[in-house]
Amino acid sequence: MSGRDLGYGPWIWPSPSTSRCKCSEWISHPDFFPVSPPKNVTFQIESVTNLPSDWTDTFTLVHQRLLMVALQVPDWPQALREIYRVIRPGGYVQLGESRPWYEEEFPDRPCTNKLVSAYRCLVRARNLDVDCAAHMQEMLEEAGFVDIHVEERAQCIGKWAGEDGIANAINHGGVLRGFKTPILEAGGYGKIASEAEYDALIEGQAKEWDDIPGLKREFYIFCARKPLWMVGSHKWAWANMYFNLYAHHVSHREYILSKLAING
């Protein structure tokens, strides 16, 4: 099996090609941050919007996480077409993206509200698709993927939510801190006038998250499959059906009955 992790950053999502062990064993494993990566892992600088031409139909699984503030609106359909191209027929894509912050979402948390409204101005100005999770299913379909599944998990943020809440607050707070320079360089969008004001808002936001219980952010995992062949070809429609039988461990009869039920 071959896998590809796109936009890996610090490589905290281990490529499945590196090991046959269960993912759960990796979660707190120090090898998440390998000083020298395993021999069967290679790192390469490419853009997901333009992957190497010789990767066509190559990978069994492509994983990509948190490019919501990396890709512009028109980049997403292009990226998904490229991911589709490099997956081998019958292979899978797995994408992880978070629900973004929305303007005026936090009337009871004024510092968070102000930071979020400046962040919204920044992402609008840069045409970043931070709302990509909201239309990921349609984009995956348009790229040609089938069997699209989405799982949602709430991330609780703040001390009130214990150890995980503290870790999530550090993570999400770090993202808002990271927007300081581009927001101030753009003049603060009429929302934030100085670095001192930005820092004070960050301090206030951290307190709001810890002191007012209830802040959550949904995280979504999308999984989808590249069909074995193009829809419309009888030969490959059969191949697809046998793939489904195999993948879902159902009998031929059960599969046909489920299709009849779906099609009315």
Ligand X SMILES: C[S@@+](CC[C@H](N)C(=O)[O-])C[C@H]1O[C@@H](n2cnc3c(N)ncnc32)[C@H](O)[C@@H]1O
Q: Is 6 in the site for ligand X (CB under 6 A)?
A: yes
Q: In angstroms, give the least distance from the CB of 253 to ligand X.
A: 42
Question: Which residue carries 């303007």 as its tokens?
Answer: 103
> Stretches 4-12, 157-165, 179-187, 243-251: which one binds ligand X (CB under 6 A)?
4-12
Q: Is 9 in the site for ligand X (CB under 6 A)?
A: yes
| Structure tokens, 225 | 């499959």
In this complex, which beta carbon is closest to ligand X, that of residue 167 or of residue 193? 167
Which CA distances in Å does 162 have to 99, 118, 174, 210? 21, 29, 18, 10
13-52: which residues touch ligand X (CB under 6 A)?
47-49
Looking at the DSSP bridge assignments, the partners of residue 50 are 47
Q: How far apart are CA 93 and CA 87, in angstroms?
A: 8
In this complex, which beta carbon is closest to ligand X, that of residue 12 or of residue 257? 12
**Whats the size of the chain, residue-wise?**
264
| Structure tokens, 205 | 């936001």
Q: In angstroms, give the least distance from the CB of 121 to ligand X.
A: 20
Helices (H), 132-251: 136-143, 162-178, 180-185, 195-211, 234-248
In this complex, which beta carbon is closest to ligand X, that of residue 50 or of residue 258? 50
Looking at the DSSP bridge assignments, the partners of residue 94 are 63, 223
Looking at the DSSP bridge assignments, the partners of residue 150 are 222
Phi-psi region of 232 (alpha: psi -120 to 50; beta: other; left: phi over 0): left
Q: Which residue is nearest to ligand X (CB)?
A: 9
Q: Which one among 14, 17, 65, 122 touches ligand X, defined by CB under 6 A?
A: 65
Q: Which one among 41, 66, 146, 223 touches ligand X, defined by CB under 6 A?
A: 66
Q: In angstroms, give the least distance from the CB of 8 to ligand X.
A: 5
Longest dimension (CA), the chain: 68
Q: In angstroms, give the least distance from the CB of 173 to ligand X.
A: 14
> Stretches 8-16, 141-149, 213-221, 238-246: which one binds ligand X (CB under 6 A)?
8-16
In this complex, which beta carbon is closest to ligand X, that of residue 6 or of residue 206? 6
Q: In angstroms, give the least distance from the CB of 212 to ligand X.
A: 26
Q: How far apart are CA 259 and CA 263, in angstroms?
A: 6
67-86: which residues touch ligand X (CB under 6 A)?
67, 70
In this complex, which beta carbon is closest to ligand X, that of residue 125 or of residue 256? 125
Q: What is the DSSP string of 94-114?
A: EEEEE----TT--TT-HHHHH
In this complex, which beta carbon is closest to ligand X, that of residue 13 or of residue 145? 13
CB atoms < 10 A from the CB of 19, how many?
Answer: 16
In this complex, which beta carbon is closest to ligand X, that of residue 171 or of residue 194? 171
Q: Is 223 in the site for ligand X (CB under 6 A)?
A: no
In this complex, which beta carbon is closest to ligand X, that of residue 8 or of residue 255? 8
Q: Which residues bind ligand X (CB under 6 A)?
A: 6-9, 12, 47-49, 65-67, 70
